[in-house]
Amino acid sequence: MRYISTRGTAPVLNFEEAMLSGLARDGGLYVPETIPQLSAEEIAGMEGQSYEEIAYRVMRPFVGDVFTDAEFRGIIDRAYAGFGHAARAPLKQLDQGHFLLELFHGPTLAFKDFAMQLIGQMFQTALGRKGERVTIVGATSGDTGSAAIEAFRGLENVDVFILFPHGRISEVQRRQMTTPQESNVHALAMDGDFDACQARLKDMFNDFDFRDGVRLAGVNSINWGRVLAQVVYYFSSAVALGAPHRKISFTVPTGNFGDIFAGYIAKRMGLPVDRLVVATNQNDILHRCLSGQGYHKGKTIPSISPSMDIQISSNFERALFDAYDREAPAIVQLMDELKEGGFDVSQGAMQVLQQHYASGRASEEETADTIAATLKSASELLCPHSAIGVKVAEKQRVAGTPMVTLATAHPAKFPAAVEEASGVHPPLPARMADLYEREERVTRVPNDLAALKEHIKGQLTA
């Protein structure tokens, strides 16, 4: 399996190289050259299988000969062994025909653990046998960073640096990043918002001297390995609800477009997906774009669903690449226009996007109301991100087709917003009940490329 860049000029790579590099050297994102197909029979055969077995069958064709079958099975088993639920991604019924896919039973209580735990094990296996070392730098609006630190802490071949917007993430998110004491973990509180963190990260990747000098590797949601890991739970949940014999719809609380893009890949592989609904908060640039209004940046307004507070949705570039019939020069031009504030989508590309994606938004008030209402109607305490999904899904549901809403985080990760909306304080699961007592370790850094590079070089172990 070969991977090509959405901007057309970076080298073609295999799975391991694409995974270890993250962002392509031409600034683009890696995508598989072709999408492997699973037959209806193969999909039907997943019924009753463990999450790990389904993960193996869905991801194996993308990995090629980078790992042996036995290595890859070991990687998957170790990745999900620390989850707090035997089913890994259990379904819960909310209402007739409406299901919640609980993706928050991993070590940091958000869906990002599914991808990050897998990536951690894949990095360890790939680097360990070559005796090589890499520096992982990530930017986070909260959940990616904690998932990355949790996945890489204490791993021998990796230093991990995470940039987060100072003062703009929840205390639980921050503590999950600042309390691990392993010396290969570095939490950096940067002045600025998430888009600024993401911009400095991109700058570092585009500085080839630095990139090669510290052997930079990226694990942000643009990393193909992460998208791939997320394809699995679309299969496991759809099969549990009757696929491939019936169609299933999904609603996905969306920010960087990684999770929903994984659903699109599942559909392209042959899973009968009816609607894929992008749910946004008040930072609704994706909803506006998918409604035909072009992609034009505004100002990020902080919300009670901070992991979706973005203006630049990195993985959307992958969706655009397919919508523009994989014409890299068209993508290069759109991304140039984006630097100046935004772009309009051509009519043809818009048709393709709307054929695959529906969208909706929920206001802050609707989000809070949905948390309260769902607690009452289904005894389910939702995190604000998941509540946005549920609200938008209710508007987009069609009778006769099951709707699965992805619950992207545990309510205890956002206790203040959840308590304010519902009157109920969501307790942390027992395995992390002492989080508020653990000692924090964090460095405050300016929104400045040169200073960041200096700091990272100075901290490297080897």
- What's the min distance (Å) between Cβ of 258 and ligand PLP? 3
Our CB check for ligand PLP shows the closer of 162 and 328 to be: 162
Q: Does 258 bind ligand PLP (CB under 6 A)?
A: yes
Our CB check for ligand PLP shows the closer of 160 and 308 to be: 308
Distance CA 164, CA 178 (A): 11
Our CB check for ligand PLP shows the closer of 244 and 415 to be: 415
Using the rule CB under 6 A, which residue among 254, 281, 282, 370 binds ligand PLP? 254
Which residues contact residue 49 at a Cβ distance below 8 angstroms, ignoring those fewer than 6 apart? 57
* Structural contact between residues 315 and 395, judged by C-beta atoms closer than 8 angstroms: no
Our CB check for ligand PLP shows the closer of 241 and 406 to be: 406
- What's the min distance (Å) between Cβ of 195 and ligand PLP? 13
Q: Does 385 bind ligand PLP (CB under 6 A)?
A: yes
Distance CA 37, CA 59 (A): 11
Q: Does 277 bind ligand PLP (CB under 6 A)?
A: no
> Catalytic residue positions?
112
- What's the min distance (Å) between Cβ of 221 and ligand PLP? 5
Using the rule CB under 6 A, which residue among 152, 205, 257, 321 binds ligand PLP? 257
Residue type present at position 113: D
Our CB check for ligand PLP shows the closer of 214 and 319 to be: 319
Question: Counting Cβ atoms within 10 Å, is residue 138 exposed (0-12), middle (13-18) or buried (19+)?
Answer: buried
Q: Does 250 bind ligand PLP (CB under 6 A)?
A: no
Q: Does 143 bind ligand PLP (CB under 6 A)?
A: yes
Distance CA 123, CA 157 (A): 8
* Structural contact between residues 355 and 267, judged by C-beta atoms closer than 8 angstroms: no
Query: CA gyration radius for the chain?
Result: 20
Q: Does 176 bind ligand PLP (CB under 6 A)?
A: no
Q: Does 123 bind ligand PLP (CB under 6 A)?
A: no
Distance CA 416, CA 11 (A): 46
Q: Does 259 bind ligand PLP (CB under 6 A)?
A: yes
Q: Is 222 in a helix, a strand, or coil?
A: coil
- What's the min distance (Å) between Cβ of 384 and ligand PLP? 8
Q: Does 409 bind ligand PLP (CB under 6 A)?
A: yes
* Choices 254-262, 333-341, 395-403, 432-440; region in contact with ligand PLP by CB under 6 A: 254-262
* Structural contact between residues 388 and 308, judged by C-beta atoms closer than 8 angstroms: yes
Our CB check for ligand PLP shows the closer of 105 and 112 to be: 112
φ and ψ at 128, to 5 degrees?
-60, -45
CA-based nearest residue to 250, from 106, 393, 434, 439: 393
Site string for ligand PLP, 290-329 (x = CB under 6 A): -----------------xx---------------------
Q: At 192, list the tokens.
A: 């600025």
Residues 54-113 that bind ligand PLP (CB under 6 A): 110, 112
* Choices 53-61, 113-121, 253-261, 348-356; region in contact with ligand PLP by CB under 6 A: 253-261
* Choices 195-203, 209-217, 255-263, 362-370; region in contact with ligand PLP by CB under 6 A: 255-263
Question: Counting Cβ atoms within 10 Å, is residue 439 exposed (0-12), middle (13-18) or buried (19+)?
Answer: exposed
Q: Is 190 in a helix, a strand, or coil?
A: strand
Q: Does 357 bind ligand PLP (CB under 6 A)?
A: no
Using the rule CB under 6 A, which residue among 107, 253, 360, 402 binds ligand PLP? 253
In Å, how far from its chain's centre is CA 96?
Answer: 28
Q: Does 7 bind ligand PLP (CB under 6 A)?
A: no
Considering CB under 6 A, how many residues would be counted as binding ligand PLP?
16
Q: 414-438 burial by CB neighbour count: b if 16+ within 10 A, else e?
A: bbebbeebbeeebebeeebeeeeee
Using the rule CB under 6 A, which residue among 6, 135, 184, 256 binds ligand PLP? 256
Instruction: For Cα atoms 81, 272, 68, give the angle at the middle one, nearest 5 degrees.
Output: 40
- What's the min distance (Å) between Cβ of 426 and ligand PLP? 14
Our CB check for ligand PLP shows the closer of 192 and 253 to be: 253
- For the beta sheet containing 273-280, the strands, ordered from the edge strand earlier in sequence to the opposite edge, are 91-95, 98-102, 403-407, 248-253, 273-280, 357-361
Return residues touching ligand PLP (CB under 6 A): 110, 112, 143, 221, 253-259, 307-308, 385, 408-409
